[in-house]
Amino acid sequence: MSQRVPIAAEHVLHHFLGISRALAGRLDFQSMIEAVSEEIRFILPHDHLDVSLLLDDDHHLSAYETGLHTAWSDFAIHPLEIARSPIRSLLLGVEPYILSDDAMVDERFQFPGALNTPIFDARLRSRLHVPLRARGEVIGALSCSTHLAHFYTLDDVRHTQHVADLLASYLYALRQTEQAKQLAIAEAQIRAREEGLRLGVLRLTQELENERQRIGMDLHDQTLADMTRLHRRLARLQLQDSVPATELAPVAQALHESMQELRLIIDAVKPTILQLFGFVEGLEDLLLRSVRNSGLAIVTQLRDDTDGLANDLAEPQKIALFRIIQEAVNNAIKHAVPHAIIVEITATASDLCLTILDDGLGLDSASRLETGGIKNMQIRAQLLSAQVHIDKGRNGKGTCVQVCLPLPAPL
């Protein structure tokens, strides 16, 4: 049996207070355990001290140790199954404490699958284990061990239990804080990823648009200028008698038409009105210009029921929506032969919707929707997380294209 001199009650109390003081301000398990180990040593001499903490899944535990370094340290990072812990009966609430005079021969620690190698590696003989309880439940265990056999007594069990009761609420609070912190980090990471993705898409849209405008400018400054020069040379040739006018006239006409088309393309890639004035004004201009250029008698109407909500969108979003509407309006003019084209802007609590209606011929079964302009509309919408629906128009006549953009939830 132990030959230790019993420690006086007032000294025990003094060290309990010391443990309390050592705990204050400790914000991680390891430093908490090291501080406690130093203070507890006076009441309870030990060569090894460890704390096991049950995890929320009810099947695993983490372990933190001080004194000697054993394989149990790994369980601070890689949790161990409770079923493999040598003190599982205590952790599961079956035993009120475990006191072993010689753990190296104690059959309680030896069962199939038991992770008991640290006992032998570190030659831990006397062992004493008491539960850590918080809110009436076992949340883990405090364990002390020495190399000497027959060292601890029932008095030690009582003292250790007091220390464990003191520690438990600190450990519980620390674990809750730790979990809340992990959760907050995980949430922040998800938010950052989503935001990064969203910003990436917006930046990509902006870059595509910049590129498009650059091509538009090159076409204007280079190609259109070249074509204009060619046109002038042709006009001069037409004045000379050596070349028959009948041969040159169709060439000059074809060139003139190509230049007209090129101007339209250049116009389309430069939504200057959109950038200078705003989304609704840009749309108004688009409708009027497209119809005027078509030379067709089409009535247009633009209705904004949202009080200019679209103007508050990010620039790349506005541009992408503008391009989608531009294609829908062009399709209506090109394919539908309509009397009227109506563009409506509406909003629900969750979405901003843009609807382009025509009262023309409508889509037919031969319409190819997988390539070309409509496909582009869908890709642009996807990049914005918006949806495009294409259907028959009002009263089954013509075509209705609707694009709905989810709005951020109000704060």
Ligand X SMILES: Nc1ncnc2c1ncn2[C@@H]1O[C@H](COP(=O)(O)OP(=O)(O)O)[C@@H](O)[C@H]1O
Q: Which does 203 bind (CB under 5 to 8 A by kind): ligand X, Mg ion, none?
A: none
| 250, 368, 410, 411: which one binds ligand X (CB under 6 A) | 368
State the Cα–Cα distance between residues 373 and 335, nearest whole angstrom: 12
Q: Which of 206, 192, 97, 208 is nearest to 153 (CA)?
A: 97
State the Cα–Cα distance between residues 225 and 259, nearest whole angstrom: 10
Q: Is 359 in the site for ligand X (CB under 6 A)?
A: no
Q: Is 149 in the site for ligand X (CB under 6 A)?
A: no
DSSP characters over 361-393? S---TT---SSHHHHHHHHHHHHTT-EEEEEE-
Q: Is 278 in the site for ligand X (CB under 6 A)?
A: no
Look at residue 176 and give its three-state secondary structure: helix
Residues linked to residue 48 through DSSP beta bridges, in sequence order: 145
Q: Which does 360 bind (CB under 5 to 8 A by kind): ligand X, Mg ion, none?
A: ligand X
CB of 360 to ligand X, least distance (A): 5
| 128, 141, 360, 386: which one binds ligand X (CB under 6 A) | 360
CB of 318 to ligand X, least distance (A): 21
Which CB sits closer to ligand X, 105 or 379?
Answer: 379
Q: Is 403 in the site for ligand X (CB under 6 A)?
A: no
Which CB sits closer to ligand X, 193 or 334?
Answer: 334
Residue nearest to ligand X (CB): 373
Q: Is 373 in the site for ligand X (CB under 6 A)?
A: yes
Residues in 287-346 that interact with ligand X by CB under 6 A? 331-332, 334-336
- For the chain, the residue count is 411
Residue nearest to Mg ion (CB): 373
Strand (E) positions, 198-332? 299-304
CB of 196 to ligand X, least distance (A): 32
Binding residues for Mg ion (CB under 5 A): 331, 373
Residues linked to residue 51 through DSSP beta bridges, in sequence order: 64, 142
Q: Which amino acid is at 152?
A: Y
Q: Which two tokens stand for residue 364?
A: 């037919």
Count of chain residues binding ligand X (CB under 6 A): 17
Which residues does 138 contact at the CB level (< 8 Å), separation at least 6? 54, 90, 91, 92, 93, 131, 132
* Interacting residue ranges for ligand X, rule: CB under 6 A: 331-332, 334-336, 358, 360-363, 367-369, 372-374, 399
